[in-house]
Amino acid sequence: MHLILLGPPGTGKGTQAKLIAEKLNAAHIATGDLFREAVRQGTELGKQVGAYMERGELVPDELTIATLLERMRQPDAREGAIFDGFPRTLQQARALDEALAGHGMAADLALLIDAPDDEIVRRLSGRWLCPACGRIFHEVSQPPKQEQLCDGCGGELMQRDDDKPEVVRKRLEQQRPPEELLAHYRKQGKLVEIDGAQEVEAVTRDLLAAIEKTTVVS
């Protein structure tokens, strides 16, 4: 299966993508990770992607899709793929549909993990990270054993500027999946909405149930 995970920041989309990919034995394809790996490997696509990243510019849709398709040719993607972070716009969705169709494939489901703004702000504004080792903590759900210190390396924790409450609300306005993108998948009968305000295990359960239902129907 080829699944698309949609949702604003703070709904656990990346975490769920990894969990679902593992359970389905599918490849977890996150565009940011994909770009960095392509650059590291020094492939032709990686060189092109790297040029845009060095200039601080967005990677064009056609190059992003070409990178996705190249990744999907790898052995671990034979059982399917979970797209995490793409598409973000209607134009990208249409381009992805066309590219997949050209290879005899199609997205099976677009899974929208969503939650109320207040819940997302609570989650993101309580998040602290260790710049030394990258571990992430949360004031409520996963606090450090010692205040402001990383459990792993003992480094001093910091909060990203874009995790501060007033900034989070502005980010949400810009980073929620646009309605026209959701309408695109809704019209195809592929959009399934999942309550992202639940605990991680409950969200995973609902995602797997939606996927299983689609598998049975198809």
Spatial strand order of the sheet with 191-195 comes to: 27-30, 81-84, 2-6, 109-114, 191-195
SS3 68: helix
Per-residue confidence (pLDDT) for residue 117, from 0 to 100 = 92
Alpha-carbon separation of residue 1 from 30, 60, 78 (angstroms): 16, 26, 9
Rg (CA), the chain: 18
What mean pLDDT comes out for the span 185-193? 97
What amino acid positions are annotated as catalytic residues? Answer: 13, 88, 127, 160, 171
pLDDT in tens, 17-73: 999 999 999 999 998 888 888 899 898 888 999 999 888 788 898 899 988 888 888
Q: What is the pLDDT of residue 216?
A: 56
Q: What is the mean pLDDT of residues 140-169?
A: 89
In tens, the pLDDT along 84-131 reads 989 999 999 999 999 899 989 999 999 999 999 999 998 888 889 999
CA distance 141 to 182: 30
Mean pLDDT of all residues in the chain? 90
Show the domains of the chain with their CATH numbers.
2-26+79-116+177-217 (3.40.50.300)
Q: What are phi and psi of 142, to 5 degrees?
A: -150, 65
**Predicted TM-score of the model (pTM):** 0.80
